[in-house]
Structure formats: C-alpha cells, structure tokens
Amino acid sequence: MGAGAGTAGPPAGNHATPRPLDTAGFHAACARLERAHDRRLGLYAIDTGNGRTVGYRAGERFAFCSTFKALLAGAILARLKADAGILDRRILYTRHDLVPYSPITEKHAGGSMTVADLCAAALQYSDNTAANLLLHAVGGPAALTGYARALGNRSFRLDRYEPALNSAIPGDPRDTVTPADMAASLRSLAVGNALTAGGRERLPEWLLGNTTGANRIQAGAPAGWRVGDKTGTGDYGAANDIAIVWAPDRPPIVLAVYTAASATAAAADEPLIAAATQLAIGALG
C-alpha cells in the first residue's frame, strides 16, 4: 500500500508546540480504516501555522468529482485582478444547458445569473449546470487544468464536463488529482497569495456556506471548529471532501480526503471521511 509521508515545516503561528508526528502509527490507523470500510482512502492535511503535514496515499490519483468546483471558483476569483467586475457579470442560459443535479440553476433557466451567484450555487449546492457555465467562462477543461498548473498542481487533470466527469472508473486517469496536490491548491487559494485579498475572503465565505458536507469532514472535526468544504460524489463509491478547518485558537488546517470502492454502484461512505478527518487532525496535534 502506498502512503504519503508526514513532514515538519518551519514554525509559525502562536499555538502550542505540537507533539512529534507518529507517522507510522497514522499510516497503520489509515490502513485499518481501509480494511474496515473496504475502501481505498487517500488524504492529505496541512497545518498552515507550522507547516506540518500528514498524508496517506497522498500521491495516488483519485477521481475528484465535484471537489474540482473549489478550484474552478478560484480560477474565477483570480480574474478579479484584471476584471474587478467579473462577479457581477450575468451569464445567460436556457433549459437546453441544464444537466442533472442543478437545484439552483434550474429555477432560473431561460434567464441569467451573476457569476457570483453561479459560484455560490456550484460550491454550496454542487449545482452541475452552474459549474459547466463557469467552466465555459474560463475556457473549458484544458484551461482549468492550465490554471491548476500555474498554482503548482502537477496532477490535476480535468477532461470532461458535469456530470460525465463523475464516472470514477478505477484506473482511469481522467478527471483525477492527488490528495496532496488538491490540499496544496486549496491552501494557496484560501490562505496563500494566489488570490487578491478580496478573493481570499470570498472563497472561504462560499465554502463555509456549503450545504452538502454535514456528514463528512464537518462530522469529523472537533466541536466548536468551523469547516468550509466542498464535497464530491461519483460512481464506484467515490466520496470526497476538501476543506479549510478553523479552530478557535490556532491557524487553519487544510484537508483533502478522497475515497473509492471497486464496485460500480458502491454507496458513498461518509463515516469513513469523518473518521479519516479525526485521524488527521489528531495526528497534527
């Protein structure tokens, strides 16, 4: 079994010095979770205060499903530097543009929505038509893949639009990413310098308003911690969540959790994501 390594970075922030990482124990606990849930598990967590990380199968590819929408929103927000009015721009669309699972855009078909409202729909309700409209606006799958490269994400590849990208066929490299790269990209967007100050404020606001993640990373985070996340679900048991997790007394943790099964119709295993979240946060100390 492949496993990502835990690392220690330069100290930063004001929270207490954490205990030494038990990388071997963390990997063993993740392997036990995989066996108990009969799933493949990949995760990567970054303590943005001290730079420490923990990972498991962090360099392996997983189908990202709708978690890519966070990166898509980042690509939109990146345009604020050159186009301050982009979020207020309206995009026209018709019923012919609608695809399955579009709870917000289906209400406005034949009219228009602002780019900001489309981003909120895509991130907070995982609206697939909203994602496709935004994806067209940034230039399509190849353009978003190029944006990921500019962020330093070497594994991300978007090949298709919604909902086809959720097929998650084992071994298919299309529409996949590694947990380590996705967590690093989310860190760059939310707490790094990839976006303007306005963009860094807007993305976490959208993520904190997510309505689809109550049983995933949110369920595994300690009581009183805030979670801004983007979920993803597909065939072959693909169930994912990426998040920024804020504790009351420390810098945020960025976490990416990806899971997969071998059966086409396998159900999403949300308790596995919650359990993996508890392990990762506990390991970071």
Residue-wise pLDDT tens for the chain (285 aa)?
444 444 433 333 444 566 788 999 999 999 999 999 999 999 999 999 999 999 999 999 999 999 999 999 999 999 999 999 999 999 999 999 999 999 999 999 999 999 999 999 999 999 999 999 999 999 999 999 999 999 999 999 999 999 999 999 999 999 999 999 999 999 999 999 999 999 999 999 999 999 999 999 999 999 999 999 999 999 999 999 999 999 999 999 999 999 999 999 999 999 999 999 999 999 999
What would the two tokens of residue 200 be? 């860094």
Structural domain includes residue 152: yes
pTM: 0.93
DSSP bridge pairs for 246: 226
Point out the catalytic residue in the list 34, 66, 102, 270: 66
Structural domain includes residue 176: yes
Question: What's the domain count of the chain?
Answer: 1
Q: Tell me the chain's radius of gyration from C-alpha atoms.
A: 18
Structural domain includes residue 114: no
What is the spatial distance between Cα 186 and Cα 179, in angstroms, rounded to a whole number?
A: 11
Strands (E) located in the chain: 40-47, 53-56, 62-63, 90-92, 112-114, 176-177, 226-233, 239-246, 253-260
Structural domain includes residue 14: no
Point out the catalytic residue in the list 34, 60, 162, 270: 162
Structural domain includes residue 128: no
Structural domain includes residue 116: no
User: Considering only CA atoms, which of 15, 88, 11 is closest in space to residue 50?
Assistant: 11
162 is catalytic: yes
66 is catalytic: yes
The label of the residue with tokens 């669309």 reads: 93
Q: Could you tell me the CATH number of the domain that includes residue 232?
A: 3.40.710.10
- 80: phi then psi, degrees, rounded to nearest 5: -60, -30
Residue 19 CB burial class (10 angstroms; 0-12, 13-18, ≥19)? exposed
136 with 204: CB under 8 angstroms? no
Structural domain includes residue 8: no
Structural domain for 43, as ranges: 23-67+139-284
Structural domain includes residue 277: yes
